[in-house]
A = this chain, B = another copy of it.
Amino acid sequence: MTGKQSQRQDQYNRGKQLFIDTAKHLFKTQGYDKTKVSDIVNASGRNVSTLYHYFPAGKKDIVKILLITDIKEEFDKLAALMAQESDRSLIDALHLFYHQFVAIFYHNWYLMSIMLYYKDDFEAEVTPITREGTDHMRKLLAAFLKKRVDNRELYITDCNVAAKLFFAPGMEAIIVNFSEPEKDVFDTTEIDQLIAIWQRETIFFDQSK
């Protein structure tokens, strides 16, 4: 790329990002359905043809980009966290995974609610991102649990099922939180009970030896 080309590319990216940031702010504050393309255009101080140049399908295209940048990146960060060895205690590590997993959905609820409500518009292209992200997290958690089972720190018959069970209360808390008055979505009471019963058998195993 020549200097001029790269300057043009920067300008192009900045213009695109301005629309994305503006749309994100409007989706969050006034809702997706009440945000018109003209609102995004006006709040950005650009013109409508520029917006459609960047986003041929308008609002929908912006949501898709937000999903990739804001959600996929968070999933990748958590994946890295779960894959790496650490000197955290078992409980601390599980709490951290749970917290980060819930946080992804919590901080991007405005996007999730759009996907839930406008399922038909996003099913084909967008839900694979959240689906694969969630499945990948579960697989990594299952692998993490399996190691602890092998170490006899936990007693779990099927780590894949256990991983699904582990994230379910968080997912439920998120949904409930956003349909009702604020509650503590990061509360770990349920997963603490789960971890305790996963640990329990080991004790009896050891006692029966």
Please list the residues of chain A having a beta carbon within 8 angstroms of any beta carbon in chain B. 33, 112-113, 115-117, 119, 123, 127, 130-131, 157-158, 161-162, 164-165, 167-169, 171-172, 175-176, 178-181, 189-190, 193-194, 196-198, 200-201, 204, 207-208
The answer for the CA separation of A20 and B115 in the assembled complex, in Å, is 27
User: Contact: A116 with B178, CB < 8 Å?
Assistant: yes
Question: What residues of chain B lie closer than 8 Å to A168, measured between beta carbons?
Answer: 165, 168-169, 171-172, 190
Copies in the complex: 2
Question: What residues of chain B lie closer than 8 Å to A116, measured between beta carbons?
Answer: 113, 116-117, 175, 178-179
User: Which residue on chain B has the smallest CB distance to residue A117?
Assistant: B117
A185 smallest CB distance to B (angstroms): 13
The answer for the CA separation of A22 and B13 in the assembled complex, in Å, is 48
User: Contact: B165 with A190, CB < 8 Å?
Assistant: yes
The answer for the CA separation of A158 and B190 in the assembled complex, in Å, is 10
Question: What residues of chain B lie closer than 8 Å to A198, measured between beta carbons?
Answer: 197
Question: What residues of chain B lie closer than 8 Å to A207, measured between beta carbons?
Answer: 208
The answer for the CA separation of A92 and B190 in the assembled complex, in Å, is 23
The answer for the CA separation of A119 and B176 in the assembled complex, in Å, is 11
User: Which residue on chain B has the smallest CB distance to residue A192?
Assistant: B161
The contact of A180 among B127, B167, B179, B189, by CB within 8 Å, is B127
The answer for the CA separation of A166 and B117 in the assembled complex, in Å, is 26
The 5 closest A-B pairs by CB, nearest first: A168-B168, A204-B204, A171-B172, A117-B117, A168-B169
